[in-house]
Amino acid sequence: MTEQEIIDKTNQVFEESFEIERKRLVPDAQIFSDLGLDSLDIVDLIVALQNSFGVKIRNEEKVREIRTLQDIYHFIYAIKNGEGTSDT
């Protein structure tokens, strides 16, 4: 999976699940302060990313380190390219 495909799919999750306009989805956007997500949204973000990318990430320690959209792109890229948790 290419980096651009991961960016597009991740942004699609934010548009569809959290009703955030695409123009706000810039890589350095902070998930909490800039995009307005809260603790419940993070649960839904994990479910949506798992469904979208076919991965299991709920119990990944690195999930807790995510702060920006860029962090998510990198996190998913690492998993999809064999550098992290295996695909389901």
Partner 1 sequence: MSLKRAVITGLGVVSPFGNGVAALMAGIEQGRSAVRHMAGWEEYIGLQSLVGAPVDMQDEKRIPRQKRRSMGRMSIFAAQAADEALADAGITLADEDLWRVGCVVGSTMGSAKSINDAFEIMLPNKDLSHLNSTMFFQCMSHTAAVNMAQYLGLNGMIVAPAAACASSLHAIGTAYDLIRLGRQDVLLCGGAEELHPTVTGSFDILFATSTKYNDTPWKTPRPFDKDRDGLVCGEGSGILVLEEYERAVARNARIYAEVVGYSSTANGFHVSQSNRESIGVCMRQALGDAGLETQEIDYINAHATATLQGDQEEAEAIRDIFGASVPVSSLKGYIGHTLGASGAIELGATLKMMEQDVIYPTLNLETVSPDCDGVYHVLQQINRPVKAVMKSGFAFGGINAALICKKL
Which residues are near partner 1 by CB under 8 A? 18-19, 36, 38, 40-41, 43-44, 47, 50-51, 56, 58
Helices 39-53/3-18 angle, 10° precision: 130
Q: Which is nearer to partner 1, 41 or 71 (CB)?
A: 41
Report the alpha-carbon distance of residue 56 to residue 77 in Å, rounded: 13
Q: Which helix (H) or strand (E) holds 77?
A: helix 69-80
| Distance in Å, CB of 66 to partner 1, minimum | 16
| Distance in Å, CB of 48 to partner 1, minimum | 8
Q: Which tokens is 13 given?
A: 């999750």
| Distance in Å, CB of 58 to partner 1, minimum | 7
46: Cα within 13 Å, side-chain hemisphere: 15
Q: Which is nearer to partner 1, 45 or 69 (CB)?
A: 45
